[in-house]
Amino acid sequence: MRAHLAVLGILLSLLGLRFFLFFQHRPQYQDGQEVLFTTMLLSQPRTSERFQRITAYLPGGEKVFMTTTRYPEYNYGDTLSVSGKLKRKLLKGRQILTMSFPKIATSKVGPKAELALASFIRQKTTALFRKTLPPIPAGLLLGMVFGVKEGIPKDFLEDLRTTGVLHVVAASGMNVSMVAGFLSALFAFFLKRQVAVVASVIGVLFYALLSGLEPSIIRASIMGAVAFSAQIIGRQYLALYSLFLAGMGMLFVSPMLILDVGFQLSFLATLGLILIGPLFGGKGGIGEILRRSVVGEGVVTTVSAQVFVLPVLLANFGTYSIFSIPANGLVLWTVPTIMVLGGIGAILGLALEPLGQLFLYLSLPFLLYFENVVATFTHFGGLLMARELPWQFVAGYYLIGGAVLAVIYKNRR
């Protein structure tokens, strides 16, 4: 244990030096600055009748959100040469960089084989899902499998946000962490513990491939895979140690991740699953009742993740639904089944469309159930919080929470 802490101390020192050097020499982009850069699209552009909205990365790793014409179409994996004027805007209390109708040229160099494969699968299955299922269920399935929200009607998308289950249809780190937890619980019913963890890791990596290997999914998958792999040894502190190693490794490669909300949610949600989830694992009492019930597993997973991500959610989005825990508890148990059926349907549909459609039809009852639960909880609304939380509140929240967890674990020993 002391050796592990010593290694973490050395790595933290190196990471601090890496941060200092990176942010000292990082390009500073100004409002109105003309830029010319080349970027690879790591997410599918969002399209409407007249426009495409593209997320790209400037040299130095800063995000830029571009709006361009509907045609020519750009896709995940394309390499673009972009020139135009940057503009800084305030969005939900945060400064972002945007570009309106820049000049864009597609590189003659095609995407890498794995990116081209992911893009092909996503485009083909998007068409299959929309052809087979009604609009809302098709949009839900696309969101769960690929993180594609464009097919979901705007009204229902707002309902998902109000009830606190939007993370399920967004390719988010919290979503990957929850899916990993559910897969682990699901496989534990049929397989030995070590085998169940291995199967869960494979399931998470498979989900990352189907989701198009977007940065948020890759980060969350690495964290989830490392954390659940460490559980094979059967010592919780090794899962915690491995999670911190993975997080520091990613920050060392890309220091800009420290400012990325997706990275923060990925790390904190996984940390919650490691530290809080086991507290419900005791024999007897409410813990055993929750573990043995279908809805209870969803409640445990939701509470474990949301306790740690709550300040980040409030600081960045300003709204938190007080009914999100029961809503998540009622719908999250359907996610593994829906994703398995949707994933199998997507793969089989590439070779034999009718067989793929059969699995999509099997997922329809679960999707309709999900839709109706969201519609029911929408009427309860959410809890509106301040857009900007004082840093003292956030620091106090984690310090007090950490102290409480330390006391609980000390007593358990």
User: What integer is the mean pLDDT of 333-345?
Assistant: 80
Residue 73 has pLDDT above 70, yes or no: yes
**The tokens 């045609």 sit on which residue?**
71
Neighbouring C-beta atoms of residue 191, cutoff 10 Å: 14
Parallel/antiparallel/unpaired status of strands 94-100 and 63-69:
parallel
3-state helix, strand, coil in the chain (%, to 5): 65, 10, 20
Q: Are residues 63 and 195 in the same domain?
A: no
Comparing 43 with 88, which gets the higher pLDDT? 88
Residue 223 has pLDDT above 70, yes or no: no
Q: Are residues 183 and 91 in the same domain?
A: no
Q: Are residues 224 and 361 in the same domain?
A: yes
Give me the pLDDT at residue 393, please.
78
Q: Are residues 85 and 175 in the same domain?
A: no
Residue 100 has pLDDT above 60, yes or no: yes
Q: Are residues 177 and 276 in the same domain?
A: yes
For the stretch 104-154, pLDDT in tens is: 988 765 556 656 666 677 778 888 998 999 989 998 888 887 777 767 887
Q: Are residues 222 and 96 in the same domain?
A: no
Q: Tell which of 106, 122, 145 closes a domain.
A: 106
Comparing 209 with 286, which gets the higher pLDDT? 209
Q: Is residue 239 part of a domain?
A: yes
In 3D, which of 141, 180, 125, 127 has the Cα closest to residue 370?
Answer: 141
Q: Is residue 148 part of a domain?
A: no
Domain count of the chain? 2
Residue 283 has pLDDT above 80, yes or no: no
| Backbone conformation region of residue 92, classed left if phi is above 0, alpha if psi is from -120 to 50, else beta | left
Q: Is residue 137 part of a domain?
A: no
Give Cβ neighbours of residue 220 (< 8 Å, ≥ 6 apart).
Answer: 172, 173, 174, 175, 176, 177, 262, 266, 270
Q: Is residue 177 part of a domain?
A: yes
Q: Are residues 179 and 76 in the same domain?
A: no
Q: Is residue 114 part of a domain?
A: no
What's the whole-number average pLDDT of the chain? 78
Q: Is residue 328 part of a domain?
A: yes
Q: Are residues 97 and 190 in the same domain?
A: no
Parallel/antiparallel/unpaired status of strands 34-40 and 79-85:
antiparallel
Q: Are residues 95 and 201 in the same domain?
A: no
Q: Tell which of 73, 106, 139 closes a domain.
A: 106
For the stretch 353-405, pLDDT in tens is: 899 999 999 999 999 999 999 888 887 765 555 456 677 778 888 888 888 88
Give me the pLDDT at residue 245, please.
81
Residue 191 has pLDDT above 70, yes or no: yes
Q: Is residue 3 part of a domain?
A: no
Q: Are residues 218 and 74 in the same domain?
A: no
Q: Are residues 296 and 158 in the same domain?
A: yes
- Give the CATH number of the domain where residue 71 resides: 2.40.50.140
Q: Is residue 149 part of a domain?
A: no
Q: Quote the crossing angle between the two packed helices 113-132 and 135-146, to the nearest 10°.
A: 160
Distance, CA of 212 to CA of 318 (rounded, Å): 29
* Domain around 84: 34-106
Q: Are residues 278 and 404 in the same domain?
A: yes
User: What integer is the mean pLDDT of 213-239?
Assistant: 63
